[in-house]
Amino acid sequence: MAGQFRAPMGRLREGQYFSFCLDHVREYNATYNYFNGMSDEAVLLYQKDALTGHRPTWKMGANRQDAASGPMRDPFSMRGEGGGTTRRTARAPRHGVVALKALNVLGLDDEAGPDEIKARYKELVKRLHPDANGGDRSNEDRLREIINAYNVLRSSRAV
């Protein structure tokens, strides 16, 4: 039989293969040991590195520079400390994307506080409610949007 089945040549010859017939490749694979010739410590180190796909990893916080080597560079002024080419200071958003959309529906910006949100909600409901407009239901869809937006803000604890 022709050698149509591949069998790896060994640890230091990755990507290289022997060509065997089916019976011989089964026999070879039954005895194949990738770790043959490695010490126990080397095998353990290989297994430990295999947990992370043999990619380098660092402990949490280990990338910070210690005080002796000086502060970390902040080229984009992300921490608002200067030192970068831009003078904008990064500020954490007060609300999530969904809450920002809800505030937009109410016609408010992201600086709006709970009292301002409640006041705007009450104002819009009073103005658009059918009972306040002699039974006119033309603003009903807009009213639903406002109620849903307010409920989103309540569930996100913005109100």
Euclidean distance between CA atoms 104 and 83, whole angstroms: 35
Domain parsing of the chain, residue ranges: 5-50, 97-155
Which pair of structure tokens corresponds to residue 88? Answer: 């904008």
Assign domain 97-155 to its CATH architecture.
Answer: Orthogonal Bundle (1.10)
Say which residue the tokens 């949490």 belong to: 60
The one-digit pLDDT tens for each residue of the chain (159 residues) are: 568 898 888 878 888 988 999 888 888 888 888 888 889 999 999 898 888 887 877 676 655 555 455 556 666 666 665 544 445 555 656 778 888 899 999 999 888 889 999 999 999 999 988 888 888 888 889 999 999 999 999 988 767
Return the biggest CA–CA distance within the chain: 93
> What would the pLDDT profile of 30-73 be if each residue is shown by its tens digit?
888 888 888 999 999 989 888 888 787 767 665 555 545 555 66
Phi-psi region of 21 (alpha: psi -120 to 50; beta: other; left: phi over 0): beta
